[in-house]
């Protein structure tokens, strides 16, 4: 057995929203599907599976739940599916997590504070910090990202700007450490890859069973077998 367990982290795409078995209560009182691609991957590797994923969450929450569990899972493979960069997680005064999203929250936050540059910068910082903690604690991990902007340059985001200045240097530095660690599906995020290949999509926009099955096979072939052959 290559890993004792696969432990998955993410949002609704990782939990398996719109898959038939998504609402079954499983380990740690979590509800998640065993038909997602990380779960199917655990079957291909003949190892156990556990999932920490909540629909609608952003990357601050995902980073928090990862770091909360780093020391609890030895010799496991963490499968991390980073969420959309426009989501903003925060702790309320009662210590419960809440998430702002451009799709369903008060637009005043996004009018006054939000920007594509800020979203990219803060999410890259989160991902990089999480990567460092995982590597320092010798945790094996695979990362994917639902947001397609993670490798965009300042010039792509601000084509009319004459000079990027510190923004360009900061983004270039973070991306030099992060981008090559994020696994895509033929250069696309999971959902976009599923749509491109014509796999069925649920009414709320989540890829269904066929997409997850093919994604698991893709990761097993292009990532896991590469690790077995001595590539990180």
CATH number at residue 108: 3.40.50.1110
Q: Determine phi and psi for 76, rounding to 5 degrees.
A: -110, 170
Domain that holds residue 190: 5-228
The helix-helix angle for 37-44 and 209-219 (nearest 10°) equals: 50
Q: State how many domains the chain has.
A: 1
pTM of the model: 0.91
Query: Element (H or E) spanning 100, and its range?
Result: strand 97-100
- Residue holding tokens 């190892």? 47
- Residue holding tokens 């360009």? 168
CB 11 within 8 A of CB 89: no
* pLDDT string in tens for the chain (232-residue length): 789 999 999 999 999 999 999 999 997 788 999 999 999 999 999 999 999 999 999 999 999 999 999 999 999 999 999 999 999 999 888 989 988 888 765 666 777 676 888 899 999 999 999 999 999 999 999 999 999 999 998 778 877 766 567 778 889 999 999 999 999 999 999 999 999 999 999 999 999 999 999 999 999 999 998 766 543 3
């Amino acid at each position: 057995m290559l890993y004792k367990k696969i432990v998955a982290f993410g949002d609704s795409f990782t939990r398996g929203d719109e898959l038939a078995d998504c609402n079954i209560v499983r380990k740690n009182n979590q509800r998640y599907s065993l038909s997602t691609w990380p779960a199917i991957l655990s079957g291909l590797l003949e190892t156990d599976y556990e999932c920490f994923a909540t629909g609608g969450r952003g990357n601050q929450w995902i980073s928090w739940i990862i770091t909360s569990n780093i020391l609890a899972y030895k010799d496991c493979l963490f499968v991390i599916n980073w969420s959309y960069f426009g989501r903003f997680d925060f702790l309320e005064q009662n210590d419960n997590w809440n998430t702002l999203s451009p799709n369903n929250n008060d637009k005043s936050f996004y009018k006054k504070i939000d920007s594509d540059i800020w979203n990219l910068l803060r999410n890259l910082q989160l991902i990089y910090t999480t990567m460092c903690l995982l590597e320092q604690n010798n945790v094996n991990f695979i990362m994917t990202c639902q947001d397609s902007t993670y490798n965009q340059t300042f010039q792509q985001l601000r084509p009319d700007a004459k000079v990027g200045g510190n923004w360009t240097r900061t983004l270039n530095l973070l991306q030099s450490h992060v981008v090559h660690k994020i696994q895509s599906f033929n250069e696309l995020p999971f959902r976009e890859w599923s749509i491109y290949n014509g796999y069925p999509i649920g009414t709320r926009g989540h890829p269904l069973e066929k997409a997850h099955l093919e994604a698991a096979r893709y990761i097993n072939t292009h990532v896991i077998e590469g690790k077995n052959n001595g590539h990180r």
